[in-house]
Structure 1
Amino acid sequence: MLTTKNKISQYRWVICSMLFFATTINYMDRQVLSLTWKDFIAPEFHWTDADYGNITGAFSFFYALFSLFVGKFIDRLGTKRGYLIAIFVWSLGACLHAICGWVTMQYAGLDSVDALRAVKAGSQMALMISTVSVYLFMFCRIVLAMGESGNFPSAIKVVAEFFPKKDRAFATAIFNSGASIGALIAPLTIPVLANYLGWESAFVIIGGIGFVWMGFWVFIYDKPSQCKHVNEAELAYILQDDATDSDAAKAAAKADGPTLPFMRCFTYRQTWSFIMGKFMTDGVWWFYLFWAPAYFSDQFGYASSTTMGQWLIFVLYLIVTALSIVGGYIPKYFVEHRGMEPYSGRMKAMFIFALLPLLALVAQPLAS
Structure 2
Amino acid sequence: MGKFKQLRWSILVLFIAGVTINYITRNSLGILAPELQRILHMSTQEYSWVVAAFQAAYAIFQPICGWALDFIGLKVGFFVFATAWALVCMFHSLANSWQVLAGLRFLMGITESVAVPANLKILTDWFPAKERGVAAGWAGVGFSLGGMLAPPLVAFISLQFGWQMAFLVTGFMGLIWAGIWKIYYDNPKDHKSISEEEKAYILDEETVRSNESLKTNLWTSIKDICKVKKFYGVAIPAFLAEPAWQTMSFFVPLYLATERGMNLKEIALFAWLPFLAADIGSAISGYLAKFYRGKLKLSNNNAAIWSSVSGACLMISLAFVPFVHSPYAAIGLISIGGFGHAAISAMLGVLIMENFESNQVASVNGIRGFSAWTSGFLFSLLIGAIVPKFGYSPIFISMGFFDIIGAAFMLWFIYEKGVKTLKSK
Q: Same fold (TM over 0.5)?
A: yes
Residue 240 of structure 2 is matched in structure 1 by: 280
TM-score scaled by length of structure 1: 0.81
> Which deviates the most, 327-336 or 22-31?
327-336
Q: 2:82 aligns with which of 74, 79, 87?
A: 87
**Contact 1:183–1:289, Cα closer than 8 Å, also in 2:** yes
**Contact 2:133–2:286, Cα closer than 8 Å, also in 1:** yes
Deviations 1:225-258 (Å, cap 9, x if unpaired)?
1112221221222134x3xx6xxx97x5454323
Give the 3-state SS of the residue equivalent to 1:316 in structure 2: helix
**Contact 1:72–1:258, Cα closer than 8 Å, also in 2:** no
Residue 197 of structure 1 is matched in structure 2 by: 161
Residue 58 of structure 1 is matched in structure 2 by: 53
Residue identity in the other structure for 2:316: L
**Contact 2:33–2:253, Cα closer than 8 Å, also in 1:** no
In the TM superposition, residue 55 of structure 1 has moved relative to its aligned partner by 0.4
Residue 355 of structure 2 is matched in structure 1 by: none
Residue 183 of structure 2 is matched in structure 1 by: 219
TM-score scaled by length of structure 2: 0.70
Residue identity in the other structure for 1:192: F
Identity, in percent, stands at: 24
**Contact 2:73–2:213, Cα closer than 8 Å, also in 1:** no
**Contact 1:167–1:332, Cα closer than 8 Å, also in 2:** no
Residue 291 of structure 1 is matched in structure 2 by: 251
Residue identity in the other structure for 1:324: S
**Contact 1:11–1:230, Cα closer than 8 Å, also in 2:** yes
Residue 237 of structure 1 is matched in structure 2 by: 201
- 2:172 is aligned with 1:208: yes
Residue 161 of structure 1 is matched in structure 2 by: 125
In the TM superposition, residue 222 of structure 1 has moved relative to its aligned partner by 1.3
Residue 357 of structure 1 is matched in structure 2 by: 315
- 2:18 is aligned with 1:30: no
- 2:102 is aligned with 1:138: yes
**Contact 1:166–1:335, Cα closer than 8 Å, also in 2:** no
Residues in 2 aligned to 1:364 and 1:233: alpha-carbon distance in whole angstroms: 55
Give the 3-state SS of the residue equivalent to 2:272 in structure 1: helix
Deviations 1:181-230 (Å, cap 9, x if unpaired)?
11111111112212222211111110111110111112211111111222
Q: 1:265 aligns with which of 225, 228, 249?
A: 225
- 2:139 is aligned with 1:175: yes
| Root mean square deviation, CA, Å | 2.4
Residues in 2 aligned to 1:31 and 1:96: alpha-carbon distance in whole angstroms: 15
Residue 381 of structure 2 is matched in structure 1 by: none
Q: Which runs of 5+ in 1 are unaligned?
A: 102-132
Go from structure 1 to structure 2 and tell me whether the alpha carbon gap of 1:62 and 1:254 turns closer, same or farther (over 3 Å shift): closer
Residues in 2 aligned to 1:343 and 1:166: alpha-carbon distance in whole angstroms: 12
Residue 277 of structure 2 is matched in structure 1 by: 319
Residue identity in the other structure for 1:315: L
Go from structure 1 to structure 2 and tell me whether the alpha carbon gap of 1:35 and 1:65 turns closer, same or farther (over 3 Å shift): same
Give the 3-state SS of the residue equivalent to 2:30 in structure 1: helix
Residues in 2 aligned to 1:366 and 1:193: alpha-carbon distance in whole angstroms: 32
In the TM superposition, residue 362 of structure 1 has moved relative to its aligned partner by 5.3
In the TM superposition, residue 327 of structure 1 has moved relative to its aligned partner by 0.9
In the TM superposition, residue 141 of structure 1 has moved relative to its aligned partner by 0.7
Deviations 1:20-63 (Å, cap 9, x if unpaired)?
11111011001112222322x33332222222111001111111
1:34-49 map, 5 Å: 34-39=30-35, 41-49=36-44
In the TM superposition, residue 100 of structure 1 has moved relative to its aligned partner by 2.1
Give the 3-state SS of the residue equivalent to 1:261 in structure 2: helix
Residue identity in the other structure for 2:24: M
In the TM superposition, residue 352 of structure 1 has moved relative to its aligned partner by 2.0
Go from structure 1 to structure 2 and tell me whether the alpha carbon gap of 1:235 and 1:48 turns closer, same or farther (over 3 Å shift): same
Residue 364 of structure 2 is matched in structure 1 by: none
